Chains A and B, each alone.
Chain A
């Protein structure tokens, strides 16, 4: 089960979850992903080696995709 989550004031919110076999859940996840991007969020897909990658298209093979806000120098 892959998950799309957003970091927010509640800690985090799960926006969607999907499996490779369930096309409907994938479509819903892609829509949720696009909505978040439109609102200015950035998407970060966690890779198996522990690094992360900025993504503009929902990687359906990722286990976890996190929507985050932009950072800035303090």
Chain B
């Protein structure tokens, strides 16, 4: 069987095709970067508090700054996905109807409740929003957030934007990851904290799916 290649990915020959290996490498780089931030802010804060306990408020502010940077990283990933809002026009309802047919009966409720379309893939469990996607890697402990959208889709209803991305993902998962820009990679719990509450059940479901896949 031949490997399908997404037309948009084929048009970007300068980009190295995403794979399990490349995602693993990117994940490790993100982890090192996060450790670097924690060390950069955490060690001086601890030293300052040890040398001069009266400077504890200052070291707390310094440490807080580091924690804020880590939060901002995950927040960027969470914001990039953009879940669908409830439909409020006939076109939006039509688009959501088709998207519901595409995701299938068992995922339709999750889609309407959370605004994110679930999709199982070889790289892990995906959640697709209007302008991005979340990939929960097998095992469920790490996520990758991707920023990707319909090229000229300003006039499209939200459901159609998600449908575009979902179809592209189904056509060629690795190509989809190749075309997309990276927003964030890190622990699933970090992203969960930054996601809107209504989206969290989708992340939990994707995590369970990814964990089952790892065990299977």
Do A and B interact?
yes
Q: Does B163 contact A (CB under 8 A)?
A: yes
- Using an 8 Å CB-CB cutoff, how does the interface string of A59-74 with B read, 1 for contact, 0 for none? 0000000101111111
Q: Does B24 contact A (CB under 8 A)?
A: no
Distance between Cα atoms of A3 and B96 in the complex (Å): 18
Q: Which chain B residues in 4-57 approach chain A with CB under 8 Å?
A: 4-8
Q: Does A8 contact B132, Cβ atoms closer than 8 Å?
A: no
**Contact residues of B: prevailing secondary structure:** helix
Using known A-B contacts A68-B167, A68-B168, determine if residue A8 contacts B156 with beta carbons closer than 8 Å.
Answer: yes
Which of A10, A46, A66 touches B91 (beta carbons < 8 Å)? A10
Q: How many positions in chain A have a CB within 8 Å of any CB in the partner chain?
A: 23
Which of A11, A68, A71, A72 touches B94 (beta carbons < 8 Å)? A11
CB distance from B196 to the nearest CB of A (A): 18
- Residues on the A chain within 8 Å of B125, using CB: none
Q: Does B179 contact A (CB under 8 A)?
A: yes
- Residues on the A chain within 8 Å of B90, using CB: 11
- Residues on the B chain within 8 Å of A8, using CB: 155-156, 160
Q: Does A68 contact B163, Cβ atoms closer than 8 Å?
A: yes
Q: Does A7 contact B (CB under 8 A)?
A: yes
Distance between Cα atoms of A8 and B150 in the complex (Å): 11
Q: Does B171 contact A72, Cβ atoms closer than 8 Å?
A: no
- Residues on the B chain within 8 Å of A72, using CB: 8, 148-151, 179
Q: Does A71 contact B156, Cβ atoms closer than 8 Å?
A: no
Q: Does B167 contact A70, Cβ atoms closer than 8 Å?
A: no
CB distance from B22 to the nearest CB of A (A): 15
- Residues on the A chain within 8 Å of B111, using CB: none
Q: How many positions in chain B have a CB within 8 Å of any CB in the partner chain?
A: 43
- Using an 8 Å CB-CB cutoff, how does the interface string of A38-62 with B read, 1 for contact, 0 for none? 0000101010001111100000000
Using known A-B contacts A11-B93, A12-B94, A52-B170, determine if residue A68 contacts B151 with beta carbons closer than 8 Å.
Answer: no
Using known A-B contacts A11-B160, A42-B7, A54-B4, determine if residue A71 contacts B149 with beta carbons closer than 8 Å.
Answer: yes
Q: Which chain B residues in 167-213 approach chain A with CB under 8 Å?
A: 167-168, 170-172, 176, 179-181
Distance between Cα atoms of A46 and B5 in the complex (Å): 15
Q: Does A9 contact B150, Cβ atoms closer than 8 Å?
A: no
Q: Which chain A residues in 3-52 approach chain B with CB under 8 Å?
A: 5, 7-12, 42, 44, 46, 50-52
Known contacts A12-B94, A51-B171, A68-B150; can you find 4 more A-B pairs with CB under 8 A?
A: A44-B167, A53-B4, A69-B153, A73-B147
The contact sample of 27 A-B pairs, CB cut-off 8 A, is: A5-B98, A7-B164, A8-B160, A9-B156, A11-B92, A11-B93, A11-B97, A11-B98, A11-B157, A12-B94, A44-B168, A44-B170, A44-B171, A46-B170, A50-B170, A52-B171, A54-B5, A69-B156, A69-B164, A70-B150, A70-B151, A71-B150, A71-B151, A73-B147, A73-B181, A74-B132, A74-B147
